[in-house]
């Protein structure tokens, strides 16, 4: 498979994940999805970290230009900030500073992880 095609798949996965995070972040607290997720034996903060790690790493890997990919990856912190602020207006949800910290840690780690993964895409 050509490298351009691989990068396109990575960016498509990024878009799907972004939509999933936006929708999940703005669901009411009583929604079946959030009720089911609250039953998972994993910390809510770990889920935030993992989601934003992927949201930051995928554009770093997917964009042809490293600088543009890094900018898009780091911009995911802004997405997390906006979504966290919007939760103030969603029933059963609240703004949590610890969620924002987990998002930021995920973005930072994801952007750094994406750099060496760029060369891995070429090897696939």
User: CA quadruple 56, 60, 62, 65: dihedral positive or negative?
Assistant: positive
Among residues 45, 43, 21, the alpha carbon closest in space to that of 33 is found at: 21
Q: Domain limits of the chain?
A: 3-123
- pTM over 0.85? The answer is yes
Enclosing H/E stretch for 71: helix 66-74
pLDDT tens-digit series, residues 66-101: 999 999 999 999 999 999 999 999 999 999 999 999
Mean pLDDT, all residues of the chain: 94
């Amino acid at each position: 498979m050509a490298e351009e095609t691989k990068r396109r798949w990575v960016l498509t996965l990024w878009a799907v994940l972004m939509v999933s995070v936006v929708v999940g972040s703005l669901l009411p607290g009583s929604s079946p999805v959030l009720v089911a997720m609250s039953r998972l034996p994993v910390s809510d903060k770990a889920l935030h970290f993992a989601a934003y790690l992927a949201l930051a790493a995928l554009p770093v890997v997917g964009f042809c230009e490293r600088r543009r990919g890094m900018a898009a990856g780091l911009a995911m912190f802004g997405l997390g900030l906006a979504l966290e602020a919007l939760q103030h207006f969603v029933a059963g949800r609240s703004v949590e500073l610890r969620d924002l910290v987990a998002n930021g840690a995920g973005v930072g780690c994801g952007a750094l992880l994406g750099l060496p993964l760029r060369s891995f895409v070429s090897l696939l």
